[in-house]
Amino acid sequence: MSHIAVIDYGSSNLRSVSKALEAVASPRQNVRVTNDPKIIRNCERAVFPGQGAIGDCMNQLKQLDLIESIKHCIASKPFLGICLGLQSLMTSSDENDGIDCLNIFSGNVKRFVRSNTRTNLDKIPHMGWNQVHWTKSHFLTQGIPNSSYFYFVHSYFVNTSSPTIIASKTKYIQEFTSAVSRDNVFATQFHPEKSAKNGLIFLANFVKWNGNSSSLAD
C-alpha cells in the first residue's frame, strides 16, 4: 500500500481535496491528511493545498517543522501544489507587506489591480469558473481540452521570471500564470478538487503520474 500525503498546515480546504483524491485513487493508494513530517517525507506522492494568507501559511509551516519535508518531496517525488500551494513555491509574495516563500521557482506573487474602466466586472477576489489555456503538453493535462473551465478563488497571482515553467495561462483583469510545472512538480492557481469533471480527470492523471515531466498519458 502506497500513500498520497495531503499536507495539513492548519488552514486548508482539506476535506474536498482528500475526497476528490480518494475518488480517483487506486485501491492500493491510501490518501492521508497529515502534518507529520516523517509521513510526508515517506509518501509516494504529495499534495500541498492552501488557502488564506501566505504569511500565516509560512509561519505554520515553520512551526510544524514541515518545510524540509516539503522540499524533500519537491526534490524526489510527484508533487502537486494547489492555490496557495502554488504561491508558496515562489521566491516571495507581496502579501502581508512582503513575505519570503519557499523559493522553489523564481518570481513573486502579486495582487490583482482592478481596472478603472471595468470596475463592476473586475471584482477581487477572482472567484468562479474561468478558462485555462495550456501552454505545453503534460501528463496531468491529458484528456482535458485546451481552454477548459476550472474553478478559482484568489486575489493574488504568480509572476514568474522563468517562462519555461509556465504550464497554463488564464485571463482575468490581465493574463496571468494559472499553473506551473517543472520535472516532478506541478502547481495550479485553480482548484481541481472544485472543478467537477475536468478537475477529477486532472487528479486522476496525478495519482498515475510517475513524476517524469516528459511522459504522456497512455
Q: Encode pLDDT of 4-37 as tens digits.
A: 999 999 876 799 999 999 999 999 999 999 999 9
Global pTM reads: 0.95
CA–CA distance, 27 with 15 (Å, rounded to integer): 19
Range of the domain at 18: 2-208
Q: So what's the pLDDT on residue 13?
A: 77
For residue 29, give the C-alpha cell: 493508494
CA–CA distance, 166 with 163 (Å, rounded to integer): 6
CA–CA distance, 138 with 14 (Å, rounded to integer): 25
Residue among 204, 167, 208, 212 nearest 22 (CA): 204
Question: Would you call the peptide bond into 145 cis, given omega within 30 degrees of 0 as the criterion?
Answer: no
Judge whether 191 counts as a catalytic residue.
Answer: yes
- Tell me the pLDDT band of 217, cut-offs 50, 70 and 90: very low
Portion of the chain with pLDDT greater than 70, in percent:
94
64 vs 34, 96, 131, CA distance in Å? 11, 20, 36
SS3 64: coil
Active-site option among 43, 73, 83, 101 = 83
Indicate whether 217 belongs to any domain: no
Element (H or E) spanning 179, and its range?
strand 174-182
Judge whether 83 counts as a catalytic residue.
Answer: yes
Per-residue pLDDT reduced to its tens digit, 104-144: 999 999 999 987 655 556 899 999 999 999 999 999 999 99
Indicate whether 55 belongs to any domain: yes
Q: Which CATH number belongs to the domain containing residue 46 in this structure?
A: 3.40.50.880
Q: So what's the pLDDT on residue 218?
A: 37
CA–CA distance, 105 with 79 (Å, rounded to integer): 14
Q: Using the predicted structure, report yes or no on whether residue 208 has a pLDDT greater than 50.
A: yes
Number of domains in the chain: 1
Q: What are phi and psi of 65, to 5 degrees?
A: 55, 45
Indicate whether 214 belongs to any domain: no
Indicate whether 218 belongs to any domain: no
Portion of the chain with pLDDT greater than 90, in percent:
89
Q: So what's the pLDDT on residue 5?
A: 98
Indicate whether 7 belongs to any domain: yes
Indicate whether 213 belongs to any domain: no
Q: Using the predicted structure, report yes or no on whether residue 44 has a pLDDT greater than 70.
A: yes
Per-residue pLDDT reduced to its tens digit, 49-106: 998 899 999 999 999 999 999 999 999 999 999 999 999 999 999 999 999 999 999 9
Indicate whether 43 belongs to any domain: yes
Indicate whether 216 belongs to any domain: no
Judge whether 3 counts as a catalytic residue.
Answer: no
